[in-house]
Structure 1
Amino acid sequence: MHSLLSLADLRQILRRLARERGFTLTVLLTLALCIGANVAIYAVVDAVLVRALPYPEPGRLVTTVNAYPGAGVERAGASLPNYYDRREQIKAFASTSVWQGGNAIIGGAGSPQRVDRDRVSPEFFATLGVPLAMGRTFTEEEMFYKDSSRAILTDEFWRQQFNADPEVLGKTFIVDSLPVTVVGVLPPGFRYFTSKARFFVPLASDPKDRLPDRRHSNNMQLIARLAPGASLAVAQEQVNALNAQQVEDDPFSSLLKGAKFRTDVFGLHADTVRDIKPVLLLLQGGVFFLLLIGGVNLVNLLLIRASGRTKELAVRQALGAGAGHVAGEVAMETVLLALGGGLLGLAVGAAGIQLLAVLGTDYLPVGSAIVFDARLALISLGASALVGLLLSLPIIWFSLHARLASVLQTESRGGTTSRAAQRVRHGFIVAQVALAFVLLSGAGLLGLSLRKVMSTSPGFRPEQVLTGNIALPWKGYPENEQRLAFMERLLTELRAQPGVVAVGLTAGLPMGGNINNSATTIEGQDPAPGESVRAHYMAPSAGEYWQAMGIPLIEGRFLEDADNHRDLRVCLVDQDFARRYWPGSSPLGRRLSANPKFDEKEAFTIVGVVGNVKQRELAETNAQGAIYFPMKGNYTPNGFSVVLRTAMEPTALAPMLQKVVLKLDPELPVDELKPMQAWIDESMVARRSPALLAIIFAAVALVLAAVGTYGVLAYAVNQRRREIGVRMALGAQPGQVLAQFLGLGARLLAAGVVLGALGAWGAGKAMQKLLFGVGAVHPGVLVATAAVMMMVVLLATFLPSRRASRVSPIEALRDD
């Protein structure tokens, strides 16, 4: 016979697979599930971690991050003076730009709408390498407020707002009550990472904003493109040299040295995905484990099937079938099965990508690029073919090493599987149990961590609290007095509404992402030599904000409306702040200044201490300390949040809040109208989604482990049916036979659990940074995992063992 496969061989393989429908369907479904899960997760990993940024020469794009570790601030963005200084003096940067997110009001009176809009420098799009579809970018003159009423539109906004008008350049639209002229339109599909900006405006400023004393107002992102031949290391050296030069003549030189000020230069892509990378790699590892478990399961199933065809293979080899022909036929069959499972897996993967979108992939950097496309399909099918080849290797080895003479001389009814083949199959069961144990214990650690996070008190009572965001446009409210007057009218109106228990305002809503921290000095407490002042959260607040949020008063009093009109400047601090500076004593009456140096004229007197609040997420462990100032003189351009406590369902008050605001100002929208609990839930997406997916993967792994164990032991019972019949005819009791097979399953389970426990320890160590309040090894999780594995595997063992104990000696001896 020829060693090469023919079309007839292919037809024969397909006919055989069609005849063995149960076997074929099991293989296809197993592969579809395992490959589909990998396709879905890899689509996310590919879009976020693997693919280059969608800009020309993306490897040359970098960002700089200021850090003040001595003040407790590891990442602080960049400032406007940083941009101008580094643009001129860092030769390793061929182009330098800055970006700042935000929003603006568009639309007329009665139907205002707030949309995302970003502020950028003139070189922003050139730095990214994105040419405008029409028009021009901003000029240097437009970087000053007096000439900054210009906008560059996204393609989507141009089509929706201007009906894709080809003559849009030079036309105006109203932004924050001011006419803004369109100077450019971006190409279709442009989006800067997670930004959802509809248009861009100049990052304008006053000349004083560019002075050295503003170098550390780090509220923007600096993006640069490396010059040809320049490297990250060269750029880092030049930035370090510039910092060293500037620190010496900086107005806050000694404080910067104490804060160990530095600037880090990172690749833009690597820096953007730094937080989500461990989570995605964890999920990719989880689905890879799932594929391993499925592969082990299928190898055992294929070995069982090959054992049943041993005589057929022996006859064919005796008749001249070459080793290459046998190996090729086995490889072709498994690759065909794998490709079939891969095709089904593509459908499962496409559905999985939709599920992942529900779980929050849009929050990821370049999350909008997560798509099911031809590239992903080709990679998946190529990986499926590779899986098929790997699955074929043990089957080829088994098929080529069968002892032909003994097989041909053995009657089918008396034949038993060789000890070597049994050991191989039992080894695969152990591996399958161990892998499932690792996956299940990892899911248990993530689930326990999630439960601990969710049971952590945020420091306030989110139930029955409604929030909404308002930003006052500078045209209508250019002065502090006008902004404060609006807020006081709003508080008065809302207090009079039915269903409102308490109402407050804040510029630093917990979990809202608008968290500001700044260096603070304490009267009479100068930093020791070599140390620095610390940065603390700062939240201008008004009304009954603390009562509305359910933040407890520990000492003193809350802020009052009258504090906005008194000469004495007062503030509240939280317990972490008080303990840091006055451990064991009262902070009431003490004074602080929200400046790197204590300023007598801008000092605030502490009149109260409130409970600690989780500002960024429930898993926050750093005791940063917080200060609450009156709204007077502390309004931020990002606006403020309204907080309403009600005795009813919070969302029921949303129409009322919008109505009250429009009554006070018909051109002012209220955004982000949602219960306070929704902010907490959204902050948990990065923890909840991995835990949920890990639990799904673990459940599938359990099913595969059970099916694999059942299949191997059921085959063993069938192969040894004649032997069991003989033993029972000679007096063996059913209970003895049952105990024999149960004992075999228990030994395999024990070996798998021991190996799995070692693997779980390693997995726990790798996951440590993603866990909250849970160690790499948790006895409760290991015990629970072992119990679940025992229950599932022993059940899968019991069914064929029970069948073995019921074998009739007469029928077994009568079988051919």
Structure 2
Amino acid sequence: LALGIGATTAVFTLVNALLIKPLPYEEPARLVLLFEHFKDQHLDAIPVSAPEFLDYKTSLKSFDKLAVYDASTYNLADGDLPERVAGAVVSADLFPLLGVAPLRGRTFRPEECVVGRDDVILISERLWRRKFDHDPRVLGSKLLADGRAFTVIGIMPSSFEFPLPLFNITGGQFGEQADIWQPLGFTDDEMKRRGSRSYGVIGRLAPGTSTAQAQAEVDTVVRGMRQRYQDNYSQNESFGATLYPLKEQIVGGMKPLLFILSGAVGLVLLIACANLATMLLARATAREREMAIRVAVGASRARLLRQSLTESLVLALAGAGAGTLLAIWAIDLVKSIGARTIPRLGEVQIDYTVLLVTLLVAIGTGLLFGLVPGLTSGKLDLTESLKEGGRGSTSGRRHNRLRNALVIGEVALALVLLTGAGLLLKSFVRLQNVDPGFNPKNVLTAEISLPDLRYPDKQSQVNFFAELERRLGALPGVIHVGFTTILPMSGTNSDYSFEIVGRTYDDAHPMPDEEIRLASVDYFRALEIPLRQGRFFNAGDKLDAPMAILINQALAKRHWPNENPIGRQIKVPTREGATLATIVGIVGDLHHRGLDQPVKPEFYVPLSQAPYPSVILTVRSQQDPVNLTSAIRREVQAIDPTIPIAHVRTLNQVIADSIAPQRLSVVLLTVFAGLALVLASVGIYGVMSFLVVQRTHEIGVRMALGAQRGDVLRLVSSQAGVLIGAGTVIGLIVALLSTSVLRSALYETSAIDLPTFLIVTLTLALVAFLASYIPARRATKADPMIALGRG
């Protein structure tokens, strides 16, 4: 029972924290996110541009407020070692929109959300405690971030988080808690670029306004934008905007997993409860004569019922106490598996709500399964029950039928859980065996961000990374050093439209839109991405040279299915506008979006020709690359002591993090299935042991009349076989009907995978027969004279 209640408590703790608890904002149900889409380009949730946001802000009347934001990072150079912290740039309306106030100081004023006047920041209480030791004098002081002095005007409470970690805000995942907030002001250049989309939009619906009503107004505003700016939207008639409830966007992806786990833990609890009921029924049968005597001397049936309920409640409450301790351990296990990939997991803890639910589950379990033996005890046939031992009494036979039914149910439920776990395990093994398209072994990754003030132009950025590549390449054990802007399976992607030279485009034939990456010369060698045709980037691809690009096989097949694309030209986007680029090579396909996602067409632009200040370092080593961390940090600071490195992890860790939700579901469901198997085995063992004790006299008679030990073993085993067989058949039927709920969670695995069903059935049958063999074997060792004497 402790196992069942413990599993239930652990899963409810997850459900409570992730789905039931409201977000830490004022009236969170009224908060929505606004994303744009281009349906004809399969872009379903993309950020907005600065001029588009202003259109929404001035036109939409269904909202109390609209705010704009974007994730950011800051290099802090104060102290011995520089560090990078996560943050966000936000409009002044964000904090009143969310209904939060600073712990100290104030939030932003509208006049501070202007470029040139945005030199003020808010810091988190966490950063205030860690870096300033709760010094109140920090308000009004200067903090050097990205080489720029900011005035600290406020401290946000520890309960405030925005953007919330690990939810998709602008096409990627915001993976850390923000510690710094800076006012957001649009530049003149941004206001001219309607197609440059990088901002998230959050809104608070006006009182009494539904999401559907607000969506209708958004649709009207979008139609007006398409009419006014036909040059921007004429080729994209599928352009639109969609509102998403904030909570749904944050944890909606966890609902299928939690649904599966809730169903699984419900089955475990049922099996545990069936075990409890079986034990209580056995106890009631053994005490049948005692109860009959009590009734005969005047005990009321209500008193017998109270006694039964009291005993079952004591057992249930004891199970709840032990189960809560098990739940604490289980929650720590869940956090260790999914902390970096599951949103709001840090908020998961056993609180008063969870304890109350656990108590109610325990009381409900005790009452429900204490009633059965209590009520049957009240219906005793005193004449039969007062016979010595009460063998063959009507209530005894009724108890036997109930116990048998409960064991059949336990076996059936265990088979359902084992089948689900087996399917998920097979799916996960197949997922792990997917070839990602590169070799992650012995590759270390780290993020490096150059501040604009210190590196304002392309050449300074190119020089920094060239010098870092030279220094790291000289370290012992280093094979290749590369840089990229988007790491495979990191949860971030970037799509861009481009034009193939020589082809025409119109409303019926829009320009292609594919994924773009920036990469250095040796990036492909660092990850061992194969070259299929042409050449990699080389030292000749400089800032002043004609732009070269690489494409993957998927892009070549899509746009040049029967041609050789080498030498063909396309116009690619850069910060200065469209640039003519020549395809110089074709590289292998990568599962960039995840091992379970199909390969997407991609093209790569050289960082040496389109520099970017924030990159991800990739270092291939001859040995464990983690040992290079200190040396890499030392070489970075030798070039610039104000530049930190962040998110240091191996490429294998990146892949492991990308499949952490699948791993979590497999681990938990396997644990629950294992619990179900153990509980079902214990149930079978208990029932068969009681059966042997109950039939000791009969077994003695049979052996006295010449029955051999093998005959007795077959007698007891055959009864166990009937129960196991019936449970298996019922379980298979239920499993066939119910595993369809797992279909969306399976990777290249059928929900009715016959080998899995066969292996699970044989495993359960074997374990169940072993559990019944021990009491059956004990029955063969009974002494006929002693057994007959008990008659």
Q: Fold conserved (TM > 0.5)?
A: yes
Contact 1:452 1:773 in 2 (8 A): yes
Counterpart for residue 690 of structure 1: 665
Separation (CA, whole Å) in 1 of partners of 2:49 and 2:248? 21
- Structure 1 position 205, deviation (Å): 2.5
* 1:236 and 2:215 matched: yes
- Structure 1 position 593, deviation (Å): 2.6
User: SS of 1:256's equivalent?
Assistant: coil
Counterpart for residue 289 of structure 2: 311
Counterpart for residue 123 of structure 1: 93
Contact 1:535 1:624 in 2 (8 A): no
Counterpart for residue 564 of structure 1: 542
* 1:510 and 2:482 matched: no
Separation (CA, whole Å) in 1 of partners of 2:246 and 2:738? 29
Counterpart for residue 411 of structure 2: 433
User: SS of 1:95's equivalent?
Assistant: strand
Counterpart for residue 56 of structure 1: 26
- Evaluate the alpha carbon distance shift between residue 217 and residue 367 of structure 1 in structure 2; reply closer, same or farther with a 3 A threshold: farther
Cα deviation 1:354-409 (Å, max 9, x = unaligned): 22221224643222221222232122112211121122232233223333332224
* Pairing partner for 1:774 from 731, 749, 753: 749
**Structure 1 residues 488-497 or 460-469, which shifts more?**
488-497
* 1:287 and 2:268 matched: no
Counterpart for residue 253 of structure 1: 233
Separation (CA, whole Å) in 2 of partners of 1:77 and 1:379? 41
Counterpart for residue 186 of structure 2: 205
**Structure 1 residues 357-366 or 380-389, which shifts more?**
357-366
Separation (CA, whole Å) in 1 of partners of 2:515 and 2:334? 34
Task: State the one-letter code of the partner of 2:629.
Answer: A
* 1:446 and 2:427 matched: no
Contact 2:233 2:239 in 1 (8 A): no
Separation (CA, whole Å) in 2 of partners of 1:171 and 1:224? 32
- Evaluate the alpha carbon distance shift between residue 416 and residue 401 of structure 1 in structure 2; reply closer, same or farther with a 3 A threshold: closer
User: SS of 2:32's equivalent?
Assistant: strand
Contact 1:442 1:763 in 2 (8 A): no
Counterpart for residue 84 of structure 1: 54
Counterpart for residue 608 of structure 1: 585
Paired residues for 1:326-475 under 5 Å: 326-361=304-339, 363-409=341-387, 411-412=389-390, 418-475=396-453
Contact 2:341 2:657 in 1 (8 A): no
- Structure 1 position 410, deviation (Å): 5.3
Separation (CA, whole Å) in 2 of partners of 1:567 and 1:188? 51
- Evaluate the alpha carbon distance shift between residue 717 and residue 657 of structure 1 in structure 2; reply closer, same or farther with a 3 A threshold: same
Counterpart for residue 4 of structure 1: none
User: SS of 1:787's equivalent?
Assistant: helix
User: SS of 1:563's equivalent?
Assistant: coil
Runs of 5+ in structure 2 lacking a partner?
A: 166-175
- Structure 1 position 704, deviation (Å): 0.7
After superposition, the CA RMSD in angstroms is 2.2
Counterpart for residue 594 of structure 2: 617
Contact 1:507 1:514 in 2 (8 A): no
User: SS of 2:679's equivalent?
Assistant: helix
Contact 2:713 2:776 in 1 (8 A): yes
Cα deviation 1:609-656 (Å, max 9, x = unaligned): 0001111321112x321111011453445x111111121221222222
- Structure 1 position 303, deviation (Å): 0.8
**Structure 1 residues 657-666 or 41-50, which shifts more?**
657-666
**Structure 1 residues 360-369 or 98-107, which shifts more?**
360-369
Contact 1:519 1:533 in 2 (8 A): yes
* 1:801 and 2:776 matched: yes
- Evaluate the alpha carbon distance shift between residue 248 and residue 404 of structure 1 in structure 2; reply closer, same or farther with a 3 A threshold: farther
Contact 2:62 2:217 in 1 (8 A): yes
Counterpart for residue 171 of structure 2: none
Separation (CA, whole Å) in 1 of partners of 2:186 and 2:33? 21
User: SS of 2:343's equivalent?
Assistant: coil
- Structure 1 position 347, deviation (Å): 1.8
- Evaluate the alpha carbon distance shift between residue 524 and residue 249 of structure 1 in structure 2; reply closer, same or farther with a 3 A threshold: farther
- Evaluate the alpha carbon distance shift between residue 70 and residue 754 of structure 1 in structure 2; reply closer, same or farther with a 3 A threshold: farther
Task: State the one-letter code of the partner of 1:139.
Answer: R
Contact 1:438 1:756 in 2 (8 A): yes
- Structure 1 position 415, deviation (Å): 6.3
User: SS of 1:608's equivalent?
Assistant: strand
- Structure 1 position 463, deviation (Å): 0.8
Contact 2:439 2:527 in 1 (8 A): yes
Cα deviation 1:46-65 (Å, max 9, x = unaligned): 01101111222111111122
Separation (CA, whole Å) in 1 of partners of 2:389 and 2:769? 32
* 1:742 and 2:717 matched: yes
Counterpart for residue 765 of structure 1: 740
- Structure 1 position 550, deviation (Å): 0.4
- Evaluate the alpha carbon distance shift between residue 392 and residue 521 of structure 1 in structure 2; reply closer, same or farther with a 3 A threshold: farther
Separation (CA, whole Å) in 1 of partners of 2:659 and 2:293? 62
Separation (CA, whole Å) in 2 of partners of 1:368 and 1:332? 39
Task: State the one-letter code of the partner of 1:63.
Answer: L
Separation (CA, whole Å) in 1 of partners of 2:239 and 2:388? 81
**Structure 1 residues 708-717 or 731-740, which shifts more?**
731-740
Contact 2:308 2:373 in 1 (8 A): yes
* 1:100 and 2:100 matched: no
- Structure 1 position 201, deviation (Å): 0.8
- Structure 1 position 87, deviation (Å): 2.0
- Evaluate the alpha carbon distance shift between residue 38 and residue 707 of structure 1 in structure 2; reply closer, same or farther with a 3 A threshold: same
- Evaluate the alpha carbon distance shift between residue 580 and residue 203 of structure 1 in structure 2; reply closer, same or farther with a 3 A threshold: same
Counterpart for residue 23 of structure 1: none
* Pairing partner for 2:461 from 483, 491, 497: 483
Task: State the one-letter code of the partner of 1:779.
Answer: L
Contact 1:110 1:667 in 2 (8 A): no
Separation (CA, whole Å) in 2 of partners of 1:696 and 1:425? 26
- Evaluate the alpha carbon distance shift between residue 153 and residue 441 of structure 1 in structure 2; reply closer, same or farther with a 3 A threshold: same
Task: State the one-letter code of the partner of 2:184.
Answer: L
Paired residues for 1:270-285 under 5 Å: 270-285=248-263
Percent of matched pairs sharing the same residue = 32
Contact 1:110 1:666 in 2 (8 A): no
Contact 2:381 2:395 in 1 (8 A): no
Separation (CA, whole Å) in 1 of partners of 2:301 and 2:216? 63
- TM-score, normalisation: structure 2: 0.94
**Structure 1 residues 309-318 or 780-789, which shifts more?**
309-318
* 1:676 and 2:654 matched: no
Separation (CA, whole Å) in 1 of partners of 2:480 and 2:260? 44
Runs of 5+ in structure 1 lacking a partner?
A: 1-30
- Evaluate the alpha carbon distance shift between residue 494 and residue 510 of structure 1 in structure 2; reply closer, same or farther with a 3 A threshold: same
- Structure 1 position 530, deviation (Å): 4.2
* Pairing partner for 1:523 from 481, 498, 501: 501
- Structure 1 position 328, deviation (Å): 2.5
- Evaluate the alpha carbon distance shift between residue 448 and residue 532 of structure 1 in structure 2; reply closer, same or farther with a 3 A threshold: farther
User: SS of 1:602's equivalent?
Assistant: strand
User: SS of 1:147's equivalent?
Assistant: coil
- Structure 1 position 685, deviation (Å): 1.1
